[in-house]
A and B are shown apart, each in its own frame.
Chain A
Amino acid sequence: MQAVAFWILAVAAAGSGAAVFAVDSMARATFALLASFLCVGVELLLLDLRYLGVLVVLMMIMEMLVMAVFMIMYMMNPGGLMPMTMVHNHRWAIGISAAVFAALAAGILLIPWPKRQGTVPRDPAFSLGQAIMGPKMLVMMVVGIAILATMIASVVLATGRGRYDRSPGREDGAK
């Protein structure tokens, strides 16, 4: 059952990943990529990495929505209604991606994988966090909050009010 679900999701992830380069609209490409990421997120859930899987689903949806706004705003096809393609430099691109794929696949087959030591911990996400951050946890938490504060402060500073966006009640052109 789990193996069947794994393979269905794996094929769907690869398929919708390929669809990104086959469809002719930026909106479809964005959401094909999102579908691919969501399949990967559910794969993580299947591996019992609950927290990581749910987090991938959450972050990818938000990220792709913000991406959709920016991609359609900046990229070659404003409006997204005219046909476009995600592929540039077609012949070389195919060669490079085939070579990279071959190298990665060879890596999977050739590497001497280590045997599992011990058993699966009760909460893999927790153990992973301990292994990565461990004694530096306090520093990491402080850094995390500093990054968040920086993001919020920079956004607040960047949103200067424009000509048509004065606060109500002001005399000089409030709307």
Chain B
Amino acid sequence: MPQELLRIEAKKPGGNWTDPAVQFRKGVFCYSAAAKNVRALDLPNPRDWQPFDADWKLPPDWKRILLEGMKERLEKYRSFRLFMDICVRCGACADKCHFYVGSGDPKNMPVVRAELMRSVYRRYFTLTGRIFGRLAGGRELTEDIVKEWFYYFYQCTECRRCSVFCPYGIDTAEITMIGRELLNLIGCNTNWVLEPAANCFRTGNHLGIQPHGFKDSLEFAADELEEITGIRVDVPINRKGAEILFVMPSADYFAEPHYYTLLGYMMLFHEIGLDFTFSAFASEGGNFGLFSSHELMKRLNAKVYEEAKRLGVKWILGGECGHMWRVLHQYMDTMNGPADFLEEPVSPITGTKFENARSTRMVHICEFTADLIHSGKLRLDASRNDRWRVTYHDSCNPARSMGLLEEPRYIIRNACHRFFEMPENTIREQTFCCGSGAGLGTDENLEMRLRGGFPRANAVKYVQEKHGVNLLACICAIDKATLPTLLEYWAPGVEVGGVHELLGNALVMRGEKPRTTDLRGEPLSAEVTHA
């Protein structure tokens, strides 16, 4: 990618945002969903089309569908109606969006992204808008606006950073989610969202891995672990009567560097003798339905409780994943609960009751592991991570939709010696998104991803230069999938890893052979220093 293509510029916004014209330039948008995926999920208007086509082949009554869809959602979601009504356009959110900072496109300011929807809301659903039209900030709903919505609602990663700064807590994620839901009604979806969703619906996971593939992957991981540690760990799958069901994002057992995190989980479970099972049916905790519609989210999420009930486990443990935890924490119990067939989670090792999960009955692996370390149940040799100088990226959803901030840091501090924080307004609740979340992490969208990821990468570069950081730890599968590309471009030399990868490296297992390599197969003794 030529350097000048990605010049990040601070330019003054020009023009008038009410003009809906957008240009679908290669590299800054996602391709449409293939008809077969739309069909697989029984969603409306499957057809062949692309965003750069002049004719989007919308259904003839698309306008009615959209306006009725809006009306329905205004009545169903207080958040939506309220956020349409109360923005004062103070501008506090404007430069909080990584896409605005990275693209300089003023319509990427959260306030304007919401105005794209608000202007239509005003025109059709408020008295002043119906009477005064444009003067009251209203816009006629046209096909151009549909295209504009598509462009900008798929240029938002639903990271909720703007919502932290908004004096009314207006959450662009809520608006984007509704916006995408509306677009769904007329068949304007992206393939990067719907293909994983369709896969997940059928096979149980986004990557479409079938049960035997799932088992192969895990067995392969066990083989690899045996090589590294000399210990053969169990790979229980769909085992009835296990105490705990473990659910993780599918990338953990299929992609790098996620895979090392999986190794970490498996070592940990073996070491503490956890009575657990994987599931080839609930083989995905992540949920691309979240990026499409509330209904699809619920449809994909249902299998978690269904499987827990079928297997008769006591409670559920969840792996490292960002948006997966958004769903598990804020939606699952409401959508598919109550989980009255489960028990309130108690750590079988430490006896700690996870009071904060007593209703949903699902515990985050970082909560679980932090408790183990705090109770002195794990022997950790942090020097095995000495080749890393680590910084931690708070993934948007665990940070801003859970507040899972200290648990992963506690694990990192116990598992490695050298940990450095990025600047304070780029971490914790103010963390910057990877730029590829919410279903935007596809390669055809690479330019926009690199732009959106720029603020994150810039903070990484800062600690790389200041502290020689060479590993960015995180607890999100999308981060692990997309940050390596981002850092390769903006901060070469910094790798990406999971928190439980670091834990696995440091974990001293009973009966292990002297370790010579870390989970990546890199020699332990070598002190690698990056420039």
Q: Do A and B bind each other?
A: no
Binding site for B on A (CB under 8 A): none
